Amino acid sequence: MTPRTGHSAPLDETDRRLVQELRADGRLSMRALAERLHISRASAYSRVERLHRDGVITGYTAVVDPERYGFGISAYVYLKISQHSWKAVRQRVLEIPEVWHGALVSGDYDLVLLVRTADAHSLRDLVLSKLQTMPDVTSSHTVLILDELPAEQDGRPAHQPKF
């Protein structure tokens, strides 16, 4: 949950295609990236460096299948927190490895967390022992995820949904 600051960086069509290619395969070499975009390796390298420096590209990661990785249960946990406690709660939430994503949202709840645990017992412990007992958390609501759409790449599903 990285706070977003500043303005969007100026991007041309080549920058957007470069980001699209790296989102599809973050392990591409500069040579392969340059070939796909029909630009020089030097240009590909300097563009990637600029996109890193400008905060457009913030890192690279492996996309894993949660079930195969050992997380049999996934859920959204909605939290209501005390007024003006966002930064303190955010810091505590960042320390919980079962939290895969979080967002400060508008509406009836203040935070939405995507959590993944090994089993129902672990989910119960996470919600009751770690989240609900946090200072400034006033209530929670947990929704189990029964099935998920596939991870997206470039705004499109990576493969067909399971259902």
132 within some domain: yes
The mean pLDDT value for 82-93 works out to 94
44: Cβ contacts below 8 Å, ≥ 6 apart? 18, 30, 33, 34, 37
106 within some domain: yes
The mean pLDDT value for 119-140 works out to 97
Q: Which of 59-68, 75-84, 105-114 has the lowest mean pLDDT?
A: 59-68
| 71 and 40 both lie in a single domain | no
| 3 and 36 Cβ atoms separated by less than 8 Å | no
Is the pLDDT at 3 greater than 50, yes or no? no
| 71 and 49 both lie in a single domain | no
Which range of residues forms the domain containing residue 101? 67-144
The mean pLDDT value for 49-71 works out to 92
Sign of CA dihedral 65, 143, 87, 6: positive
pTM of the model: 0.76
The pLDDT mean for the chain works out to: 89
Six-digit token string for 129:
């022992």
Is the pLDDT at 9 greater than 90, yes or no? no
